[in-house]
Structure 1
């Protein structure tokens, strides 16, 4: 039962974070961010947000540090938009799955040649 609720909260957070990033977050250090996934623990205390950032490694790190500094603002916005007893603690991580998949596809393409 708690997994179903955690999944619903994660999907709602993903939607709301997308709106917050496009409408409310005006930090120029935050690059072009795509929210790939949100994982919420079963007790709804912590949320891990996986993001993809367009650009070089330095731009990714700048974006990650800027989001870490804006975590309080983002958490308060989530708290206003989603009615929960306690808003989850948010952590941001770079999602490496896309780059990993591209690297595997390139290796397989080279093997077929």
Structure 2
């Protein structure tokens, strides 16, 4: 299975949907910010590993706490994922902090400041 095959894209989307539901509804860790969203998921073609790109709305401490909470809940998340999605192998999930949304907001703010000064 190639990395960008239709099957791999569908698996990525399904894993992303299930991860969002698990993080939003089933994890009870108080360290995890309620404004946590999954930006993208990349499942390896052999279904052994998955990278989940996480965006957290909040300050740096909130982001660190959320990543620590997600890291400690990896086993629980994988177990729930295996129960909800029927795959040959349940991927081992690695959570990666994605700051592209925050970067975009900061750039928009700077562009607005420049436009207001002109």
TM-score normalized by the length of structure 1: 0.89
Deviation for aligned residue 1:7: 1.2
**Equivalent position of 2:15 in the other structure:** 13
In the other structure, the counterpart of 1:96 is 99
The question of 1:107 aligning with 2:79 is answered: no
* Corresponding pairs, count: 113
Distance 2:114 2:74 in 1: 44
**Residue 70 (str. 1) matches residue 73 (str. 2):** yes
For the residues of structure 2 that align with 1:110 and 1:51, how far apart are their CA atoms?
Answer: 28
User: What does 1:29-44 correspond to in 2, within 5 Å?
Assistant: 29-32=31-34, 33-44=36-47
Moved over 3 A (4+): none
Structure 2 residue aligned with 1:83: 86
User: For 1:92, what is the secondary structure of its paired residue?
Assistant: strand
Q: State the Cα RMSD in Å.
A: 1.5
TM-score by length of 2: 0.86
User: How far apart, CA to CA, are the structure 2 residues paired with 1:6 and 1:87?
Assistant: 14
- Name stretches of at least 5 consecutive residues in structure 2 with no aligned partner: none
The 2-side partners of 1:98 and 1:50 are apart by 11
* Whole-angstrom distance in 2 between the partners of 1:39 and 1:25: 21
Alpha-carbon distance in 1 for matches of 2:62, 2:114: 32
Query: Cα deviation per residue 1:48-97 (whole Å; 9 max; x = unaligned)?
Result: 11111122101110110110010001001111111111111101111111
CA distance in 2, matches of 1:58, 1:80: 32
